[in-house]
C-alpha cells in the first residue's frame, strides 16, 4: 500500500530547477546517470514521510531524502554526505514511481536502511575511489545482508569468542597478511630489547627509512613513501623504559637526516609528516630527560629556529611546562648572545636575513616577557624598528600595554618608512592604527583614514567602510556627494570644500591606482548594493561600453538582477546574451550555467505575460544548437513543469 507521505504533494510539484537549486547542476547530471543505469536498488518511505533507498555506486550506499520547510534535504552514507548524486538518483526514481502510479513500500521504524543512516559513523572506510565532485574518495558504507539487520561492530563479533577461537581467527589473519606477522614480531622485539641495543635498532630503522627519498605520482597512483613508524615506536619505547636522554640524543640524528630526506623528496607531505611524528616523540622525551631545564629550553628553541618544514608542532606541549622566571631569563640571555652575532638588515633590502633574525627575536621576546624583563623587551623592539624597519612588533607590544599614543607615534614612523605604501590594502600598521582609533571611538579620524585609502584604491569594500565610519558620527550624508564626485570625475575633496570636514591623518598618501575616472565598475557595484536600478542601468552602460565583456558573468548577472523589476526588458536581454555566450562551445558545464541565465529570463518574461515569446525564443536556441544533445536535454528542463508531468 502506498504510504500517505506528507512530502508527496510537495514532491509531485518538484521541477528540475528545484533539484538543481538544491544539489547543483554537476551533481544532478551524475544523479541522473545513476538513475538511468538502474543504480537505485530499493526504495521506501519512512513513517515520517522521508524517502529512503539503497543506491549502488562503487559500493552500496543508503540515502535519505526529505522536505524541510519546503526545501529539499538529504543524508547519505557516502563521504559526500549531503546533497549527493545518490540522493538525486533516489529522488528521481521515486518521481518515476509517482509518474507511473506505482506503489512505494513502507519502511518499518527499525528498517536496516534507517539504522544505517542513524549509525553512519559505525561504518568503516577503505581506499576505493569514485569521484563525486572531482576530488574526494568514496568509501564503502553498507553491504546489504540477507537478514537486513544492523551490522555488528567488531567488539560485538569478538567479545563472546573463546581464547582458542580468537587465536584461530588471529592465526588466519596473520597467514593471509604477512605484514601483520612482521609488525607483531617487531613490537615484541621492541618490548624485549634493552635500552642500548634499542638505540642501535632505532638508528638502523632511521637509516633504512631515509635510504630512499619519498615520491608520489598522483596520476599513476604509485610511488614510495618512507615509513618512520618503527622509528616512532622505538623512541616511545625508550622513553617508557626510562631512556629519555638517549631518545633526545637520537633526535639530533633524526632532525639532520629527516631534513635532508624531506629536501630530496617529491611527495605530498607524507615524508615530512613521518619525520614530524618522530620528532613529537623526541619532544616528549625532552621534557622528561635529565638535562637542566635551561638546556632543554635552548634545545627546543634551536629546533624552532631551524624548522623549515613544520616539524615542531609537538613543541607546543613542551612549552606548556612550568619554567621559573630565572630559567626564562637564562634562555633570554643565551638567545640574546646569539642575536648579537646575527646580522641585521632592513626587510626591504634582505628579506631572508630579516626573516631569520625575526624568528629568533620572537623567541627572545617571549623569554623576556616570561622573565618579566619588560624594559629590555621595549628597548629591543625599538632597536629593531629603527635599524631594521621592524615596526610591527614594537607597535603590538605598546598596544598590548595600552600605550596607545606611543603606539600611534611608531605607527606613523613605520608608515612613513614604508616605500611601497601598501597600507590601503590591509597592512598591519594601518590596521593597527584603525584598531586603536576604534578603541578611542575617534570616528572622524577613522573616516579620514578610510577616505585616504579609498581615493588611492577606489573599490566597493572601501566605499562601505567609509560609509560605516561616516554613519557613526552622522556625517555620511554630507560626505557622500564628494565621494560620488570623485568616482565620476576623479576630483578629490580640497581645501575649498568646507563641507568635507574630516581631519588630516598626518600620513603620506600611497601612489594612486592606474585606473581613470569614471570608476564605472565601482559606481555600478555601489548602485547594485544600494538597490538603485536607474543608477545600475546608467553605470552598466558606461562600464559595459562597446566591449562585449560577457565573460564577466557575475557582474552582468548582478546588474540584471538589480534591474529586473524596474527594467525587465534590459534584464532579459542581459540574461539571454549571457546564456547564448555559454552555449557556443560544446561544454556540458557551460550548458548548465547557461540554463541558470535562461531560467531567469524565462521567469521575468512569463511574469510579464510573454510566455509565447519565451517559448519561441527557446525553440530558436534549440534549433541553432540541435546537434548538441546534452544542451537540448538541459534546455528542455526550462519549462518549469513538474517532473512527474513531463
Residue 454 and residue 452: Cα distance in Å, rounded? 6
Task: For residues 129 and 464, give the distance between their C-alpha atoms in angstroms, rounded to a whole number.
Answer: 46
Q: Where is 344: in which H helix or E strand?
A: none
Question: How much is the pLDDT for 159?
Answer: 76
pLDDT band at 479 (very low <50, low <70, confident <90, very high): very high
Q: pLDDT by residue (tens digit) across 347-376? A: 666 778 888 889 999 999 999 999 999 999
**If DSSP codes are grouped into helix, strand and coil, which group holds residue 216?**
strand
Q: Which residues of 19-90 form beta strands (DSSP E)?
A: 40-45, 51-56, 60-68, 71-76
Mean pLDDT computed over 528-557: 87
Could you state, in order of their start, the residue ranges of all structural domains in the chain? 8-153, 195-295, 441-517, 523-645
pLDDT over 50 at 346, yes or no: yes
Helix residue ranges, H only, 371-474: 374-388, 391-400, 404-417, 428-439, 443-456, 460-472
List the one residue out of 213, 209, 208, 211 whose CA is nearest residue 223.
213
Report, as an integer, the average pLDDT of 254-274.
96
pLDDT of residue 135: 32
For range 423-427, the mean pLDDT: 56
Three cell numbers written together for 499: 563641507
The pTM for the full model equals: 0.74
SS3 for 273? helix
The predicted structure's pLDDT at residue 347: 64
Residues in the chain: 646
Average pLDDT of the chain, as a whole number: 88
Starting at the earlier edge strand, list the strands of the sheet with 105-106. 71-76, 60-68, 51-56, 40-45, 105-106
How far is the C-alpha of 284 from the C-alpha of 238, rounded, in Å? 11
**Tens digits of per-residue pLDDT, 33-76?**
999 999 998 899 988 888 999 999 878 899 999 887 778 899 99
Amino acid at each position: 500500500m502506498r504510504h500517505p507521505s506528507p512530502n508527496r504533494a510537495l514532491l509531485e510539484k518538484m521541477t528540475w530547477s528545484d533539484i538543481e537549486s538544491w544539489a547543483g547542476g554537476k551533481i544532478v547530471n551524475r544523479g541522473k546517470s545513476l538513475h538511468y543505469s538502474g543504480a537505485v536498488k530499493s526504495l521506501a518511505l519512512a513513517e515520517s514521510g522521508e524517502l529512503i533507498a539503497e543506491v549502488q555506486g562503487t559500493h552500496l550506499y543508503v540515502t535519505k531524502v526529505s522536505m524541510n520547510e519546503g526545501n529539499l534535504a538529504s543524508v547519505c552514507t557516502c563521504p559526500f554526505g549531503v546533497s549527493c548524486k545518490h540522493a538525486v538518483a533516489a529522488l528521481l526514481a521515486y518521481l518515476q514511481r509517482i509518474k507511473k502510479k506505482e506503489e512505494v513500500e513502507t519502511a518499518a521504524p527499525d528498517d536496516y536502511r534507517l539504522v544505517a543512516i542513524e549509525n553512519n559513523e559505525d561504518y568503516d572506510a577503505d581506499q576505493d575511489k569514485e569521484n563525486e565532485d572531482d576530488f574526494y574518495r568514496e568509501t564503502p558504507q553498507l553491504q546489504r545482508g540477507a537478514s537486513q539487520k544492523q551490522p555488528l561492530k567488531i567488539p560485538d563479533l569478538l567479545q563472546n569468542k573463546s581464547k582458542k577461537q580468537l587465536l584461530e581467527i588471529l592465526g588466519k589473519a596473520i597467514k593471509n597478511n604477512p605484514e601483520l606477522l612482521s609488525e607483531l614480531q617487531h613490537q615484541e622485539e621492541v618490548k624485549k630489547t634493552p635500552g642500548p641495543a634499542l638505540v642501535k635498532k632505532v638508528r638502523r630503522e632511521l637509516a633504512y627509512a631515509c635510504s630512499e627519498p619519498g615520491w608520489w605520482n598522483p596520476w599513476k597512483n604509485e610511488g614510495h613513501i618512507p615509513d618512520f613508524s618503527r622509528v616512532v615506536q622505538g623512541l616511545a619505547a625508550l622513553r617508557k623504559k626510562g631512556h629519555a636522554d638517549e631518545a633526545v640524543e637520537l633526535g639530533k640524528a633524526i632532525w639532520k637526516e629527516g631534513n635532508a630526506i624531506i629536501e630530496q623528496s617529491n611527495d605530498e607531505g607524507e615524508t615530512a609528516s613521518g619525520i614530524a611524528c618522530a620528532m613529537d616523540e623526541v619532544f616528549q622525551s625532552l621534557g622528561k630527560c635529565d638535562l637542566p631545564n635551561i638546556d632543554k629550553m635552548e634545545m627546543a628553541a634551536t629546533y624552532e629556529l631551524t624548522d623549515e618544514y613544520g616539524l615542531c608542532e609537538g613543541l607546543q606541549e613542551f612549552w606548556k611546562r612550568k619554567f621559573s622566571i630565572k630559567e626564562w631569563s637564562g634562555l633570554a640571555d643565551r638567545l640574546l648572545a646569539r642575536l648579537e652575532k646575527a646580522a641585521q638588515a632592513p626587510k626591504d633590502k634582505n628579506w631572508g636575513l630579516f626573516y631569520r633574525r625575526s624568528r629568533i627575536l620572537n623567541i627572545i621576546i617571549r623569554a623576556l616577557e616570561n622573565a618579566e624583563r619588560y624594559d629590555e623587551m621595549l628597548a629591543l623592539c625599538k632597536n629593531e624598528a629603527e635599524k631594521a624597519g621592524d615596526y610591527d612588533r614594537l607597535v603590538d607590544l605598546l598596544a598590548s600595554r595600552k600605550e596607545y599614543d606611543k603606539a600611534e607615534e611608531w605607527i606613523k614612523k613605520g608608515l612613513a618608512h614604508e616605500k611601497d605604501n601598501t597600507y590601503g590594502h590591509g597592512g598591519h600598521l594601518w590596521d593597527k592604527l584603525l584598531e586603536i582609533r576604534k578603541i578611542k571611538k575617534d570616528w572622524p579620524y577613522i573616516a579620514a583614514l578610510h577616505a585616504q585609502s579609498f581615493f588611492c584604491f577606489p573599490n566597493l569594500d572601501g566605499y562601505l567602510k567609509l560609509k560605516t565610519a561616516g554613519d557613526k558620527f552622522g556625517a555620511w550624508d554630507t560626505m557622500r556627494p564628494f565621494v560620488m564626485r570623485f568616482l565620476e570625475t576623479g576630483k578629490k575633496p580640497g581645501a575649498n570644500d568646507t563641507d568635507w570636514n574630516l581631519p588630516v591623518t598626518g600620513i603620506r598618501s600611497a601612489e594612486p591606482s592606474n585606473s581613470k575616472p569614471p570608476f564605472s565598475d565601482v559606481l555600478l557595484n555601489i548602485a547594485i548594493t544600494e538597490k538603485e536600478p536607474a543608477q545600475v542601468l546608467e553605470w552598466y552602460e558606461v562600464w559595459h561600453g562597446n566591449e562585449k565583456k560577457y565573460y564577466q558573468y557575475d557582474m552582468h548577472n548582478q546588474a540584471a538582477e538589480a534591474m529586473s523589476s524596474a527594467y525587465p526588458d534590459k534584464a532579459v536581454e542581459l540574461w539571454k546574451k549571457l546564456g547564448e555566450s555559454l552555449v557556443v562551445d560544446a561544454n556540458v558545464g557551460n550548458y548548465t550555467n547557461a540554463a541558470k541565465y535562461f531560467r531567469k529570463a524565462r521567469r521575468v518574461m512569463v511574469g510579464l505575460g510573454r510566455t509565447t515569446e519565451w517559448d519561441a525564443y527557446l525553440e530558436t536556441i534549440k534549433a541553432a544548437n540541435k546537434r548538441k544533445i546534452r544542451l537540448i536535454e538541459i534546455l528542455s528542463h526550462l519549462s518549469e513543469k513538474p517532473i512527474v508531468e513531463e
